[in-house]
Amino acid sequence: MADHRELAKNMDLFHFEEHSPGMVFWHPQGLRLFRSIEDFMRQVYQNSGFEEVRSPIALNRSLWEKSKHWEKFRQGMFVVGSVEAEQDNESDLSIISSDYALKPMSCPAHIAIYQSRKRSYRENPMRLMEFGICHRNELSGTLSGCMRLRQFVQDDAHIFCRESDVQSGVSNFLKMVKLVYSAFGYEEFSLQISLRPGQRLGSDELWDKAESVLIKAVESLGHNYNLAANEGAFYGPKLEISLQDRLGRSWQCGTIQVDFNLPQVFELGFVNESGELERPVMLHQAILGSLERWIGILLEHHNGALPVWVAPTQVAVASISDKASPWAEKIVSRLKRMGIRVELHNQDRTISKKIREISKRKVPLIAIVGEQEASNQSLNLRCLGAREQEEMSLVQFEEKLADIFPAF
Ligand SMILES: [Zn+2]
């Protein structure tokens, strides 16, 4: 089994540099992979009633003080200082204040969107999601490829709702988790409920309520779970989902958290049926967690041979001879029109060399065409890792490809 960094090198996906520890340099093929996952998740969230938003990555310190991140999470944040030149001496620059911090998560930004105008009970549950660019100042010794980074994109979602909506929020979250994890080839996952940590916000009464609402929601769905003391977020208890990979390793990826505290700290409210101001509950959720880490785990789980629907290049079309080149080009343009990520190999090289090079990059499907296939309007399909190939018409191949995307 190869390490994801080794696979990424062979597949030309991304690399790391010493001058940006814990941050990824995405190559064209890698960004295609990243985007295909992002597009899929966008669809999943949209189908579950979430609206996508985008918020700044740097937010003023006063906001972090209010959200208590400054107090409880400061060592994990990158603080941005303002630099000003001393009078008449531009070489003497000094940092005069630390006004901003890069967001380690998007919660306060989504709260700002919620608070931007008056809210009504009719908007409940309000579901916001963002592919949020987050920074966390992890210790350099703990950084490990994509598995632990300082900069990453998280599918960061928040639901503003009533206490009576928590159960359906948790149930929808688990439905989304099942759909997404099986689309990526994971069949097994386990649940853990993480309870109040030592360092936390709010009263014990609110924690009692948040923990019992979450436990009740999970139990009513008939799921088994483990309880873990002290491992909740500082604002609320968490349900954490760990998937099992092919090597028997367990990775905690998805999470949903019940939060009565931040709505209180930020004095959130919506106007209820009787015209009074009522406080919402917040659910914080992520299905993949860090997309970069998700990609690292996915590469190792499949040893680079990703499911066709997500692969950065899905089909390589390789011609055996110059005379077959126009037909190969025709196939490529037809597949592109379908939205398939396809590449053409028409260069003057032997077909075995082409196949070797394409297979090294783990392209899942190779369509091989010679003069005979050109006159038959067909192709020979070879799947990654297989020795045999199967002849089919281009129309048959297109039908096959139309079926590769996960059903919702
Ligand atoms: Zn959050």
pLDDT in tens, 52-87: 999 999 999 899 999 888 888 888 999 987 766 555
* pLDDT value, residue 387: 86
Residues constituting the chain: 408
Average confidence (pLDDT) over 276-289: 97
Both 178 and 29 in a single domain? yes
Which one of 244, 277, 301 terminates a domain? 301
Domain that holds residue 277: 4-57+103-301
Confidence at 205, pLDDT banded by 50, 70, 90? very high
Q: Is the pLDDT of residue 158 over 70?
A: yes
Both 284 and 357 in a single domain? no
Kindly give the interhelix angle for 166-183 and 204-220, rounded to the nearest 10 degrees. 50
The CA distance from 21 to 334, in Å, is 42
Both 183 and 295 in a single domain? yes
Both 295 and 327 in a single domain? no
pTM for this model (two decimals)? 0.93
By annotation, the residues acting in catalysis are 107, 136, 154, 156, 158, 238, 284
Overall number of domains in the chain: 2
The CA distance from 108 to 129, in Å, is 13
Distance 318 CA to ligand 1 centre (A): 47
CATH number at residue 342: 3.40.50.800
Both 152 and 206 in a single domain? yes
Average confidence (pLDDT) over 154-183: 95
The CA distance from 236 to 233, in Å, is 5
Which one of 275, 301, 327 terminates a domain? 301
Average confidence (pLDDT) over 141-170: 95
Distance 82 CA to ligand 1 centre (A): 27
Q: Sort 325 into a burial class: Cβ within 10 Å, 0-12 / 13-18 / 19+.
A: middle
Average confidence (pLDDT) over 329-356: 94
* pLDDT value, residue 72: 80
Is 194 among the domain residues? yes
Distance 262 CA to ligand 1 centre (A): 9
Is 96 among the domain residues? no
Distance 311 CA to ligand 1 centre (A): 30
CATH number at residue 258: 3.30.930.10
pLDDT in tens, 223-267: 999 999 999 999 999 999 999 999 899 999 999 999 999 999 999
Is 334 among the domain residues? yes
Confidence at 99, pLDDT banded by 50, 70, 90? confident
Which one of 301, 333, 358 terminates a domain? 301
Both 175 and 252 in a single domain? yes
